[in-house]
A and B are shown apart, each in its own frame.
Chain A
Amino acid sequence: MGKTENQKAWFFVLPVFVLVAFNALIPLMAVVNYSVQETFGNNVFFFEGLKWFEEVLHSDRFHASLLRQLAFTGTILAIEVPLGVAIALSMPRRGPWVSVCLVLMALPLLIPWNVVGAMWNIFALPDIGLLGRMLNGLGFNYNYTQQPFSAWATLIAMDVWHWTSLVVLLAYAGLSAIPDAYYQAAKIDGASSWAVLRHIQLPKMKRVLTIAILLRFMDSFNIYTEPFVLTGGGPGNTTTLLSIDLVKMALGQFDLGRAAAMSIVYFLIILLLSWIFYAAMTREEGRS
């Protein structure tokens, strides 16, 4: 068996390598360098060894942010994935309404993150916002600027509103790729709609759902702009997710060494959890 690869292809990939080096690799190396040093500005650094890592690992503040982040990501995944699949299943497959539904679904994704935060900030204000006034008018005691539960509910509602469409579009793409023959066979066998979902649609959507879950997981774990604009991490620290905490530490306190160590631990957690998700899903795929 001879090797036939054309090695010239590597030259076409070279610009991507250069781009990734400049926007990811070099900054990441700088963060690793910062994480073992202390600085008071002016490009003067003092070697501190692993002190920042030890402090971050023992920090109650970091543990609390991490717990909030896990709770946020777990909650939005538990809502967005089933909801996205349900919406995709109820969308028409043929006819003029397909384009209308797809455009409507794509709209939230086109809105910049800070605009989404600002929109929900005003929309949910208890005194002048449509949602806030309506909820209070219905008898709920709702004020996301002062109550942790309201702040969390608003944050989750905002993320679900913004990002469920992504799951819908991916799930819809997966559904559209299922040949009609599968449905015809199921019809001949007298399969119920649950059986069709369980044995045809979900298995066929597995690959796109893997991508959807991974994207939503990584994105929600990195989320910064929307919660920052909506609640600023408050009331108190109740919606201070990892990235908000990190920015407070790095830019608010200019504690670069500790922030760099926290970034690396944060990055490793995302890498590990993403890999576990990916491995679990591809393992199932490999078995089937």
Chain B
Amino acid sequence: MALSWMAWTWETAAFFAIIAGLLVVMALWEWRRPGGAQRRGILGLDTTRGDRLFISLLGSAFIHLGWLGLLGEPLWGAVALSLLYATAVFRWV
């Protein structure tokens, strides 16, 4: 099947590969420790590991957009901030 209409670039392929990799890691994590590790965090929400990944990814997207809108490129600062944010989400949310 010709995929030229999808206009792949290595950058976007890497982006989706990272997302797919995260999902695989989450699946393995769930396989090793089933149940989703549900808990109530500082936001007062009942979240599972999957919810925390979703919150991390969504927040990271906005961190990157905010960085791009306010400070422009490069985005290494946004990447570092997103990693910190994701760590905080997985630790406390």
Contacts and interface: CB of A to CB of B under 8 A. Distances in A.
A28 to B, nearest CB: 10
Interface stretch (A13-21, A34-42, A113-121, A211-219): A34-42
Interface residues of B, number: 27
Given A268-B58, A268-B62, A272-B62, A57 B4 contact: no
Contact of A282 (B5, B45, B58, B69): B45
Nearest to A43: B4
Contacts of A57: 65, 68-69
B8 interface: yes
Interface residues of A, number: 29
B15 to A, nearest CB: 7
Interface string B11-53: 1100110000000000000000010000010011110000000
B contacts with A: majority SS: helix
A54 interface: yes
B5 A43 contact: yes
A153 interface: no
Given A57-B65, A268-B61, A272-B62, A283 B44 contact: yes
A50 interface: yes
5 contacts: A36-B12, A37-B9, A53-B65, A54-B69, A54-B73
Interface of B: 4-9, 11-12, 15-16, 34, 40, 43-46, 54-55, 58, 61-62, 65, 68-69, 72-73, 75
Interface of A: 3, 26, 29-30, 32-34, 36-37, 39, 43, 45, 47, 49-50, 53-54, 57-58, 265, 268, 271-272, 275, 279, 282-283, 286-287
